Structure 1
Amino acid sequence: MMKKELNREAFVYPRRMFLLVLFTVLSGAVIIGQAYLIASLVDAVFLQEQALRDQWILMALLLGVFFARVVFSDLPFRIGIRTARDVKDRYRQKLLERMTAAEQRTDLTGKRISLYLDVVDELDSYFSSYFPQLIQTMVVPVMILITVFTQNIYSGLIMLITAPLIPVFMMLIGSQSEKKAGVQMAKLQSFSGHFLDTLKGVMSLKLLGQTSAQREVIREKSLAFREATMDVLKIAFLSALMLEILATIATAMIAVEVGLRLVFGHLTFQTAFFVLLMAPELYLPLKNLGASFHSGRNSIAAGEKLKDALEQPLPEVTWGREKLALQAPPALTLDNLNYYYPGNTNASLEGISATIPAGEHAAIIGVSGAGKSTLMNVMAGLTEAEEVDSYLVNGQRRCDWTEESWFQEIGYVSQHPYLFAGTVRSNLLMGKTGISGQVLNEAVRSAGLSDLLAELPDGLDAPVGEGGQGFSGGEKQRIALARVMIQKPKLLFFDEPTSGLDVITEKRMNETIAKLSEQSTVVTIAHRLRTIRQADRILVIDQGILAAEGTFDTLAAESQPFKRITGEVREGDE
């Protein structure tokens, strides 16, 4: 049950839970003390006709109790707010750790971003409001009930009978409320995700004349979310009304009982007034729980979505204990390599066998969906083949090395390299220290960044927005290349870094890649004919199998799949 899992998340912080219960108990004690002091003060002044100035001790105590009640009532919710913040951070960390390789290399979809942001944020109300209120409801009414039983057993019985009606009522509406909250959460994720995706593609929609159609789709999703929200609010308002009615009727019953016993002399005024003051305090936590009940249900619905996302099977990558230290470009061997996506019985890659000698530049080509990116992910250590022995680096299994040393020794440049908020310098160095100015300047020059930096007022210290805002695709590609050149890896992977670039920028990029190839083994996913011609060895992937392998000239003369693919490339490239 999701509620139990969320509670377990709260008890990850046992010290906070102890303080939460402690402050709640103190809050209950202060509430009882407040009622007793008020009853005593009123009895002394109005019935015993004592002077108000003679009651300064009671008034001072009452003032202190008022202040203590404010403090002890507020502290549990402050603890809840801190817990909500940390739990949300934990969930986001879990989601990021399970982020797939494809999501790491490309922009996240709107639906996925909505999961990371909107859905996780929905957990807030459970820990900041519902959970502290639940603790108060479990503690404070019990303390009040015990106190009332010691003063007037009949009032205690009325409270004991009527108080459980409120939780029973909440249980009756709980299942319906949870269903509505789940629908609302799904509508929110659909609406916010689609809206973000539309914003990202607004230029394409404009060029294709589809803005009006998408406007209507967004309107429909917005209305659907509004209707789902109104359904939840209807239940919330109705339940709040019923809870108020139940509490009012129960308080009235206690008032009648106390009044009659007071009239017939079975109770003193102080006791009767004390019990009457305690009655609304008994039902107040129950009513407050009802008010936060629906936000708690929304959080539970959000938790279910997060649970589903976290339980989706992901490919595991095995790592060893040896430290990788490449002194020279390595040779790569694929021996009957197979790969299946989680939950899929059909192989994405099947029987791939090839050898890439040390220092060679290999290009992987194929139509869209052929398995090129999957093969590169396996070779780069982002995912793992079915048999760990089917991929060898210098004759040794990739899984024998530690994850940290592996990624320190390889370089990876994707079509959409990510730049972090900071400066050009910080994005080039990526936290590395001890990099000389000569090495940095050489990398900048070789990547073709010199002209760009000359145009920027701050040069290497020019600001960079999150995700590379303020820089074009080609400029981000060149920064990513310079970043790799500073690292000087012996094994390089390029996911078509020249895709979408102009001819001049592409030429500079190819020259840089050629220079890197002189001191590294390079594997490139190639879509452009110029990049394919530049490779020493070409692997032709067709529907998950290796259809052909060889040099450009050999394949152009003998391989039909190669001719078909390069024919399509030529039509779009030249």
Structure 2
Amino acid sequence: MFNKRLVREGRPVRRLLFLTVGLGIGIALLAVAQAWFFSRVVAMVFLEGSTLKAVWSPLFMILGIIGLRAVLQWFSEICAHESASYIKTNLRKRLMNHILALGPLYARAERAGELITTAVEGIESLENYFSKYLPQLVLATGIPLLILGFVFPRDWESGLILLLTGPLIPIFMILIGKLAEKKSLQQWRQLSWMSAHFLDVLQGLTTLKVFGKSKAQAQVIERVSDSFRKSTLSVLRIAFLSALMLEFLATISTALVAVAIGLRLVNGTITYDTGLFLLLLAPEFYTPLRTLGLNFHAGLSGVNAAARIFVILDLPLVNELDGNDHNKVLSSDFQICFQQVSLTYREGELPALKEINLSINRGEKIALVGPSGGGKTSIAQLLLRFMKPSAGQVLVNGASLNTISAEKWREQIAYVPQNPHLFTGSIAENILIGRPAARFEEVVRAAQDALANEFILTLPDAYRTFLGEGGARLSGGQAQRIALARAFLKDAPLLILDEATSNLDLESEYLVQKALKRLLQERTAIIIAHRLETIYQADRILVIDQGQIAEEGSHEELLKMQGLYYQLLNNYRGESQ
């Protein structure tokens, strides 16, 4: 189970890994020396009748060797742990950065619980692979050969027994490992599924309670947990079987060496101290092979987790630059152009956008309306650089948007979505997401502009009030005004509003609309809305239907056409009455 890609992850700490292996070799050499001194002491005392004074020096040597082995073992474990910790930290950082770079569209398509398990449990499972399995893989080859180098010159028959029986352990380990690989992969999938399902239940607990399905979901969790339990037990059964076989083979092989040495001792063809020395070396010959077998299953879990990690890391990024980084982002007089832009989310699906041609000048307010699923949000996703066009290109001041780094580009954009996410933390911290370096006075001013200051001051700790996950302590309108405060604080030249006033009560909508009027001043804006009151102030209205611009013009011009916009307006007025 030698995973080349995982091994490449260890290159930055290869010195620590080599040191771990070197210390293991040193421990093996000390074991040989310990066996030699011990066999000499026993021979001197029981055969030669030596006194305690005569063997005092070799006894001290044995004691020193035992202490030195303990010290080297301690350093070896520290080196192994440090190398594994560095690799885990580096890999987790890359994984999280890659998931963030893939953007919200990827995250929405995946189960959050499964991603969390991969980033946490998956990375942690690599600990044993790098700290135990990988060094032991080298030691399981090096130490037996080293011991054979001491055995063969003294007794070729014992060396031959070790040489013939030694490979049986890795052979059986590989055979059992084939069965364990499938079971271990199944266990990892069950763990990911259980974590994802449990998180889904927690996030949807309100809905489950309202519809009386919480007990039913508890039973589902029980079934999923039981399935994971069975998978874990099946892996443990294989692990115990593997340990039994390895111990059995090592014991039988050591017994063969002992019998062969005993017969030659009786015949007088080998000296006692040499026979005892060889007998003491036999367990040391099999120990690294047995240890490798014991660590095999832990390493297998790391390999299975790594497979999922590398699948994510191999996903292409949307935000990779095409050519040199273009620095002229939204100058004092800028223009954004869509040229024959088409977008398909997945192969085989109908295109979300079809050959869109659109020009947005500085200071313009462009409203996007149309039936749900028509492609309005897809235009916003392209502007936010969450994806690339399948065909055509988006230009900024004549340069392709793909030549601008996503980080620089998004610095120029303030985004207010339909359901803004509020993070666990204080209200001030949530507003500071707009511009982390802002002073507290600027935060307060942004909240005042967003008409949020008044309700914030009524909270127990005002701007220091701690919000739970998702801003559970705030109403929808209050959360939306916090999002508007972020946009005011960021003070970006391009504003994207995605259904910013939907799902609000009349009072909240009035306050949000009032704040939006301030926010829209002297800014270029893309406004996506179902509530048509939001778009009356737009300079141009684009009616998007089935991925195409069906109609374009001002509110009055579109009414005169009596087309799709006219129908949408009548339908909306009918629903409002």
Mean Cα deviation higher: 254-263 or 443-452:
443-452
- In the alignment, structure 1 residue 226 sits paired with structure 2 residue 242: no
Q: Distance in 1 between matches of 2:273 and 2:549?
A: 92
Give, as a single letter, the amino acid of the residue that structure 2 aligns with 1:350: K
C-alpha distance 83-497 of structure 1, shift in aligned 2 (>3 A): farther
* Distance apart, 1:265 and its partner CA: 1.9
* Distance apart, 1:400 and its partner CA: 4.0
Q: Distance in 2 between matches of 1:225 and 1:325?
A: 52
**Where in structure 2 are there 5+ consecutive unaligned residues?**
none
Q: Distance in 1 between matches of 2:96 and 2:564?
A: 39
- In the alignment, structure 1 residue 347 sits paired with structure 2 residue 348: no
- In the alignment, structure 1 residue 161 sits paired with structure 2 residue 161: no
Structure-2 residue corresponding to 1:297 = 300
TM-score normalised according to structure 1 size: 0.90
Structure-2 residue corresponding to 1:14 = 14
Contact 1:105-1:417 at 8 Å conserved across structures? no
- In the alignment, structure 1 residue 35 sits paired with structure 2 residue 35: yes
Contact 2:330-2:397 at 8 Å conserved across structures? no
Give, as a single letter, the amino acid of the residue that structure 2 aligns with 1:91: L
Structure-1 residue corresponding to 2:279 = 276
Q: Distance in 1 between matches of 2:148 and 2:463?
A: 70
Percent identity over paired residues: 36
C-alpha distance 34-506 of structure 1, shift in aligned 2 (>3 A): farther
C-alpha distance 54-221 of structure 1, shift in aligned 2 (>3 A): same
C-alpha distance 380-230 of structure 1, shift in aligned 2 (>3 A): same
Structure-2 residue corresponding to 1:125 = 128
Structure-2 residue corresponding to 1:50 = 50
- In the alignment, structure 1 residue 193 sits paired with structure 2 residue 196: yes
Structure-2 residue corresponding to 1:59 = 59
C-alpha distance 376-436 of structure 1, shift in aligned 2 (>3 A): same
Q: Distance in 1 between matches of 2:426 and 2:57?
A: 65
The 5 A counterparts of 1:485-500 are: 485-500=488-503
Alignment deviations for residues 201-245 of structure 1 (CA, whole Å, 9 cap, x no partner): 111112122223323332332222222222222211111111111
Between the two proteins, the alignment pairs up a number of residues equal to: 573
Q: 1:254 aligns with which of 254, 257, 265?
A: 257
Mean Cα deviation higher: 298-307 or 86-95:
86-95
Structure-2 residue corresponding to 1:151 = 154
Q: 1:358 aligns with which of 355, 362, 387?
A: 362
Q: Distance in 1 between matches of 2:151 and 2:52?
A: 27
Q: Distance in 1 between matches of 2:311 and 2:74?
A: 34
TM-score normalised according to structure 2 size: 0.90
- In the alignment, structure 1 residue 102 sits paired with structure 2 residue 101: no
Provide the secondary structure at the position in 1 that maps to 2:411. Answer: helix
Alignment deviations for residues 456-491 of structure 1 (CA, whole Å, 9 cap, x no partner): 455444455676565555444333322221221111
Mean Cα deviation higher: 27-36 or 215-224:
215-224
Contact 2:434-2:486 at 8 Å conserved across structures? no
Give, as a single letter, the amino acid of the residue that structure 1 aligns with 2:7: N
* Distance apart, 1:46 and its partner CA: 3.0
Q: Distance in 2 between matches of 1:110 and 1:573?
A: 40
The 5 A counterparts of 1:413-492 are: 413-419=416-422, 423-430=426-433, 435=438, 438-456=441-459, 458-463=461-466, 468=471, 473-492=476-495
* Distance apart, 1:447 and its partner CA: 1.7
- In the alignment, structure 1 residue 176 sits paired with structure 2 residue 176: no
Structure-2 residue corresponding to 1:376 = 380
C-alpha distance 274-408 of structure 1, shift in aligned 2 (>3 A): same
Structure-2 residue corresponding to 1:24 = 24
Contact 2:446-2:488 at 8 Å conserved across structures? yes
Give, as a single letter, the amino acid of the residue that structure 2 aligns with 1:272: G
C-alpha distance 561-129 of structure 1, shift in aligned 2 (>3 A): farther
C-alpha distance 32-493 of structure 1, shift in aligned 2 (>3 A): same
C-alpha distance 409-128 of structure 1, shift in aligned 2 (>3 A): same
* Distance apart, 1:342 and its partner CA: 5.3
Contact 2:543-2:549 at 8 Å conserved across structures? yes
Contact 1:329-1:520 at 8 Å conserved across structures? no
Give, as a single letter, the amino acid of the residue that structure 2 aligns with 1:81: H
Provide the secondary structure at the position in 2 that maps to 1:138. Answer: helix
Mean Cα deviation higher: 161-170 or 210-219:
210-219
Provide the secondary structure at the position in 2 that maps to 1:90. Answer: helix
C-alpha distance 214-396 of structure 1, shift in aligned 2 (>3 A): same
Structure-2 residue corresponding to 1:335 = 339
Q: How big is the alpha-carbon RMSD for the aligned residues of Structure 1 and Structure 2? A: 3.0
C-alpha distance 438-212 of structure 1, shift in aligned 2 (>3 A): closer
C-alpha distance 431-198 of structure 1, shift in aligned 2 (>3 A): closer
* Distance apart, 1:437 and its partner CA: 5.4
Mean Cα deviation higher: 73-82 or 28-37:
73-82
C-alpha distance 414-49 of structure 1, shift in aligned 2 (>3 A): farther
Mean Cα deviation higher: 27-36 or 197-206:
27-36
Give, as a single letter, the amino acid of the residue that structure 1 aligns with 2:336: L
Provide the secondary structure at the position in 2 that maps to 1:382. Answer: coil
C-alpha distance 563-113 of structure 1, shift in aligned 2 (>3 A): farther
Q: 1:405 aligns with which of 396, 405, 408?
A: 408
Q: Distance in 1 between matches of 2:448 and 2:457?
A: 11
Alignment deviations for residues 3-60 of structure 1 (CA, whole Å, 9 cap, x no partner): 1211221234222222122212212112212222222222233333323244333233
Contact 1:313-1:343 at 8 Å conserved across structures? no
Q: Distance in 1 between matches of 2:206 and 2:486?
A: 31
* Distance apart, 1:413 and its partner CA: 2.7
Mean Cα deviation higher: 465-474 or 312-321:
465-474
* Distance apart, 1:571 and its partner CA: 7.0
Q: Distance in 1 between matches of 2:267 and 2:403?
A: 88
* Distance apart, 1:522 and its partner CA: 1.0
Give, as a single letter, the amino acid of the residue that structure 2 aligns with 1:183: Q
Give, as a single letter, the amino acid of the residue that structure 2 aligns with 1:558: M
Contact 2:447-2:453 at 8 Å conserved across structures? yes
Provide the secondary structure at the position in 2 that maps to 1:338. Answer: strand
Q: Distance in 1 between matches of 2:162 and 2:456?
A: 76
Q: Distance in 2 between matches of 1:567 and 1:38?
A: 99
Alignment deviations for residues 101-141 of structure 1 (CA, whole Å, 9 cap, x no partner): 32588696323333333333333321232222223212222
Structure-2 residue corresponding to 1:537 = 540
Give, as a single letter, the amino acid of the residue that structure 2 aligns with 1:22: G
Contact 1:447-1:482 at 8 Å conserved across structures? yes
Q: Distance in 2 between matches of 1:225 and 1:167?
A: 29
Q: Distance in 2 between matches of 1:434 and 1:307?
A: 35
Provide the secondary structure at the position in 2 that maps to 1:52. Answer: coil
Alignment deviations for residues 136-165 of structure 1 (CA, whole Å, 9 cap, x no partner): 212222212211223222111110010100
C-alpha distance 432-196 of structure 1, shift in aligned 2 (>3 A): closer
Mean Cα deviation higher: 96-105 or 563-572:
563-572
C-alpha distance 5-402 of structure 1, shift in aligned 2 (>3 A): closer
Q: Distance in 1 between matches of 2:171 and 2:493?
A: 68
Q: 1:323 aligns with which of 324, 327, 332?
A: 327
Q: Distance in 1 between matches of 2:436 and 2:301?
A: 47
Mean Cα deviation higher: 89-98 or 221-230:
89-98
Q: Distance in 2 between matches of 1:109 and 1:573?
A: 37
* Distance apart, 1:246 and its partner CA: 0.6
Contact 2:495-2:524 at 8 Å conserved across structures? yes
Contact 1:329-1:491 at 8 Å conserved across structures? no
Q: Distance in 1 between matches of 2:381 and 2:298?
A: 42
Q: Distance in 1 between matches of 2:533 and 2:237?
A: 63
